Amino acid sequence: MSTATNAAPSSPSSLKRRLVRRLVLLQAAIQLLVIGALVATGHLINFSSPENTVEILQEAVMRGADGRLAMRATPRLAALREAQPPLWFSVRDRQGGRLVEGRIPDEFADIGATLDGVGQARLGWNMGDPPRQSARMRWVDSAAGPVQILTGADSPITWRNLGLSLLLVLLEVVLPILAITVAATLLASHVVVRRTLSGLHAIVARAGQIDAEQRGVRLPLAEVPAEVATLVGAFNDALQRLDDGHARQERFLADAAHELRTPIAILHTRIENLAEGAERTRLLADAARLSVLAGQLLDLQRMKVHGTGRQRIDLVAMVREVVAEMAPLALAAGYEVSFEPLAARVEIEGDRDAIARALANLVRNAIEHAGGMGAVTVRVMPPGDIEVIDDGPGIPAALREQIFKPFHRGHATGPGAGLGLSLVQEIARLHGGEVTVHDAPGGGALFRLRLRSARSDGAPA
């Protein structure tokens, strides 16, 4: 038996980070290419400069048995003499000793003593002058002590010279330039990219406002990059199509519910004319269920289209009337009904008819699902809460969010259509409140309808 594993989806990388990273890598690559080209052509560093010749001579300087300056036959000095047949140099110490090899150009013959107070110097000519010999002078520490080396010969290119020169270029040229470039790119890119993507942040904020009940919202196209504007426009077109489809669905449901009222009323009248019996009772219950369903559909669509009409109402008086109207239905189903106001008067701003429908649905839900026995208690308490409590089996915690979804039915064979609690939730939302379900203190379910903008006074009635 084979098993398949699904890899966890990787989180999307930040567009800002990708842009900055690619800009830094691109600029670093361009600079490395330019520096490499300058190094290869000798415009940035000359691997065979007199500077290397000075180091070779410094390594070979020594004092002979008589104390005079002499040159040790080092491999590098031998290679230098072979590569530069007209090799010339002058080595002087501070005691006046001097060692000369080759023919020193006349313009540099007596310049060494003149530069005794100078640590180093490059001797040459102005740009545009005819090509002539240049020279390099440096005071260095050697085996013979401090000596002044003057030479104009270029040293041969060796792997050591090449490696040291490349390391020098890397440390003194490449790394500082790259560091400055990366720092500048990070700073500039952060500002530029952030300002460029500011329009996308506005889109994200607006997209967070879109939900099933907040229609008509469109993503802004202002300050959106052209590369993203096409996608945003297509998304807005999709939102428009969804809004149009939602509106058509709502019109259909409202029309269907309205058209059902007449045939349901006719059906109910005809059933009442039937002879008394169990079949007539069942048909009347089914017709009543159809009538309630049509009314709930109309209520949902009416509230979505027109909202609620606000007025000052006494919640205690309104609930007392609804309980009185629902009492015969509850008694016929085998329940005892009680009304327990915890204040003499609780005033709120709201739609009286909508709140009454919500309470009626909560009581009807208790009658249908509490097991056909026990008590149904309705309470009103400040600042604007209504509780409906039954003695039934209660509602499992795992199902308490599902029961408020449209057409959700706790029992497939139950009499409800799954719209009552959804209607209650919609009415609570339109009044700035909420409806929740809890365990009743003595067992059963406790539905709490919480309404805002409430005012209460007085003592329990």
Do both 438 and 315 map to the same domain? yes
- Residue 385 has φ and ψ, to the nearest 5°, of -110, 145
Paired tokens of 372? 């056909």
Do both 130 and 232 map to the same domain? no
Do both 29 and 177 map to the same domain? yes
Domain containing 186 equals 15-43+162-196
Residue-wise pLDDT for 233-281, tens only, equals: 888 888 888 888 877 776 766 666 666 667 777 877 888 778 888 888 7
Q: Which of 158-172, 256-270, 314-328, 369-383 has the lowest mean pLDDT?
A: 158-172
Residue pair 299/357 in contact (Cβ under 8 Å)? The answer is yes
Q: Measure the CA–CA gap between 341 and 380, rounded to whole angstroms.
A: 5
Residue pair 348/453 in contact (Cβ under 8 Å)? The answer is yes
* Residue 89: strand, helix, or coil: strand
Residue 82 pLDDT: 83
Quick check: 128 pLDDT over 80?
Answer: no
- pTM of the model as a whole: 0.45
Residue pair 58/151 in contact (Cβ under 8 Å)? The answer is no
Q: Does 206 fall in a domain? A: no
What is the spatial order of strands in the sheet that 335-341 belongs to? 335-341, 374-381, 385-390, 445-450, 434-439
Q: Measure the CA–CA gap between 72 and 55, rounded to whole angstroms.
A: 14
Do both 132 and 244 map to the same domain? no
Give me the number of domains the chain comprises. 4
Q: Does 84 fall in a domain? A: yes
Q: Measure the CA–CA gap between 121 and 100, rounded to whole angstroms.
A: 19
Residue pair 161/79 in contact (Cβ under 8 Å)? The answer is no
Q: Does 134 fall in a domain? A: yes
Q: What is the mean pLDDT of residues 395-402?
A: 84
Nearest to 387 by CA among 376, 378, 397: 378
CATH value at residue 275: 1.10.287.130
pLDDT band at 221 (very low <50, low <70, confident <90, very high): confident
